[in-house]
Amino acid sequence: MTDIAPSEQTPVEEELDAKPQHLGWALVLISIAQLMVVLDASIANIALPFIGVDLSIDEANLSWIVTGYSLAFGGLLLLGGRLGDLYGRRRIFMTGLATFAIASLLGGIATNEGLLLAARGLQGLGAALASPAALALITTTFPAGPARNRAFAVYAAMSGAGAAVGLILGGWLTGLDSVFGLDISGWRLTFLINVPIGLAAAALAPRFLRESESQTGRLDVPGALTGTLGLLALVFGFTRAGDQSYGWGDTWTIASLAAGVVLLVTFAVLETRVSHPLLPVRIFQNRTRAVSFVVMMLVPAAMFAMFFFLSLFIQQVVGYSPLRTGFAFLPFSVGIVIGAGLSSNLVNRIDPRFIAGVGTLMAAAALFGFSRLEVDSSASALLQTLASDGSVGSDVNYWASILPFILLMSVGMGLVFVPLTLTAVHHVRAEDSGIGSGVLNTMQQVGGALGLAVLSTVSVHFASNAASDLAPQLAQASGGGLSPEQLGGIAYLGSFTEGATAAFLVGAGMILVGSVLVWLFLDVKHDELATDGPEGAPVHVG
């Protein structure tokens, strides 16, 4: 890079002064990108059975449509964040959006399993480039204080509401069989809808987003390889451990987790010895920031698992259709928007510890409420209900037993995400904004995989014990009129609630651990959040 006299401006600084601020449109672009990235992890879930039939994908490989995206997204986030720091965050943001859109097109026109899985991996790459760049662009586009707090509130709302929006959108699109008179399978629309949105957002980015200064230094190739492969192995291991077909004792699960640990230890050693590390150790030296990263791994871990188990409970036990299940989660989107808006206003006057602390307690209380869900799973009740074509939990009142806790959880998440996102990236050096955002996103992705794996293990343990007790009772009550396969299916439905409620209870404990960390160690003051740069040194934002 050419040396520039102190009185001269870099091209980027000249752009900052020349380009008028369009903060509203900038936030729209960033929010659309984040919503698209987050909802794509869940939008395909409801379409899986239809994809399996159309492309002749067997049950064992069907889950890789979801897992492949999560693996690439979670494993490449650190690399995506660092690329934004080195080569310009707007440039990497646009590259990520374009990659995501092209991958979505390939997924939408896929005619075989291989092409679809490759497209999902490419989508994960695009998301890993766009997501940390989007978060870093907020810190470089919006001045510290109320404007940035509001932007983070919208970003957090998109991050939290994306899963619920994905379920609704996926249910609606999957049910369509034509668009503008063209015959097209509904599941393909869950991919194709991203194409015009992603390309339009990428095209408009130069108009409304300012480019960051490209940093000096080289890409840490050894760190990129060990860090990326280590995260991929870790996310793969956790995901496989959470799959009932494999579990924690599976050879590939153990080997993957062990390889992930070895690679990440190697990565940590390398990062202390290179001049331009992929993940500077200084990112973790601030205690408030380190606590924020840890809590932002624990809280999403429980939240993602809540979506998983509650959506299965509502569909399989209560008996809702996929689309109705999606709408059952619509209040979550409303609640998190309310919580995020409330916290963005409060964080100007109240320390983050109190806002996030109360939010974690609300979320833990909600999960405890879900753990109290009950259905009559006695053998006689199960046989009588199923004989009448009813659902095991058809007597569960959604409005009284589920909705209040969905709202409590969502508002609590809104109160947690905004202040912790602010504290996680606050006072990060300007040249590290991208990697700081990448670490935050990585914590959420790895936390989600870890939480689902741990809570799936808990659920399977308790459900299996309940099914073992229930099976002989069912055989006796049915008078031998059911086959072993039928007995097994009914026993599963009767025991699922036992496993899910145990998982909810453990999830509540995970969030309480995060709450303790917040109350004890998150000591940044609210007035500090109105300052920019490392240790409060202001950064020029135009």
Q: Which residues, including other chains, have CB under 8 Å from residue 452's CB and lie 6 or more apart?
A: 238, 239, 242, 301, 304, 305, 308
Tell me how crowded residue 198 is: count the other CB atoms within 10 A of its CB.
27
Q: Which of 277, 302, 321 is the last residue of a domain?
A: 277
* 379 plus 323 within the same structural domain: yes
Smallest Cα–Cα separation from 507: which of 469, 458, 436?
Answer: 458
C-alpha span between 380 and 378 (Å, rounded)? 6
Considering the domain architecture, whether residues 269 and 382 belong to the same structural domain is answered as: no
More confident: 173 or 400:
400
CB 410 within 8 A of CB 339: yes
pLDDT tens readout for residues 208-217: 888 877 666 6
pLDDT in tens, 212-267: 776 666 788 898 899 889 988 888 888 788 777 788 999 999 999 999 999 999 99
For residues 262 and 333, membership in a common domain is answered with no
More confident residue, 249 or 18: 249
Model pLDDT, residue 59: 66
Instruction: Using alpha carbons only, give the angle 117, 123, 126 rounded to the nearest 5 degrees.
Output: 150
The residue ranking higher by pLDDT, 352 or 382, is 352
Q: What does the DSSP assignment read for 362-398?
A: HHHHHHHHHTT------HHHHHHHHHTT--TTTT--I
Q: Is the pLDDT of residue 511 over 90?
A: yes
d(CA 236, CA 446): 10
319-353 pLDDT, tens digit each: 887 778 888 988 998 999 899 999 999 998 999 99
155, 263: one domain: no
C-beta of residue 494 within 8 angstroms of C-beta of residue 467: yes
Closest CA to 67 of 128, 125, 120, 122: 120
Last residue of a domain, one of 214, 238, 266: 214
385 with 394: CB under 8 angstroms?
yes
pLDDT at 92: 95
Assess whether 159 and 46 both reside in one domain: yes
Residue 524, CA distances (Å) to 217, 289, 293, 347, 511 in order: 31, 9, 14, 11, 20
Whether the Cβ atoms of residue 296 and residue 443 lie closer than 8 Å to each other? yes
Boundary of a domain, candidates 214, 239, 257: 214
Same domain, 43 and 169: yes
Per-residue confidence (pLDDT) for residue 532, from 0 to 100: 57
Q: How many domains does the chain have?
A: 3
Query: Collapsing DSSP states into helix, strand and coil, what is residue 183?
Result: strand
Place of tokens 């983070």: 152
Residue 120 belongs to domain with CATH number: 1.20.1250.20
Instruction: Indicate whether 251 belongs to any domain.
Output: yes
Pair (59, 167) in one structural domain = yes
Least confident of 52-66, 157-171, 200-214, 472-486: 472-486
- Is the pLDDT score of 3 beyond 50? no
The predicted pLDDT at position 402 comes to 95
Check whether 5 has a pLDDT greater than 60. no
Are 145 and 43 part of one and the same domain? yes
- Does residue 234 sit in the same domain as residue 204? no
- The pLDDT of residue 293 is 94
Residue 390: its pLDDT value, please? Answer: 63
* 166 and 238 inside one domain: no
Query: What is the pLDDT at residue 129?
Result: 95
Q: Is residue 480 part of a domain?
A: no
Q: Is 393 exposed, middle or buried (0-12, 13-18, 19+ CB in 10 A)?
A: buried
**Inside any domain, residue 479:** no
Convert the pLDDT of each residue in 88-142 to its tens digit. Answer: 999 999 999 999 999 999 999 999 999 999 999 999 999 999 999 998 898 888 8
Produce one character per residue of 128-159: b if its CB has 16 or more CB atoms within 10 Å, e if not.
Answer: bbbbbbbbbbbbbbbbbeebbbbbbbbbbbbb
Q: Which pLDDT tens digit goes with each residue over 139-187?
A: 888 888 888 888 988 888 887 778 778 878 887 887 777 666 667 888 8
Query: Both 363 and 383 in a single domain?
Result: yes
304 domain-assigned: yes
Domain match, 448 and 403 both: yes
Host domain of residue 235: 220-277
In a domain, 404, yes or no: yes
Domain membership of residue 12 (yes or no) is no
User: Does 535 have pLDDT greater than 60?
Assistant: no
**Residue 512 is assigned to a structural domain of this protein:** yes
Any domain includes 534 = no
Q: What is the pLDDT of residue 388?
A: 63
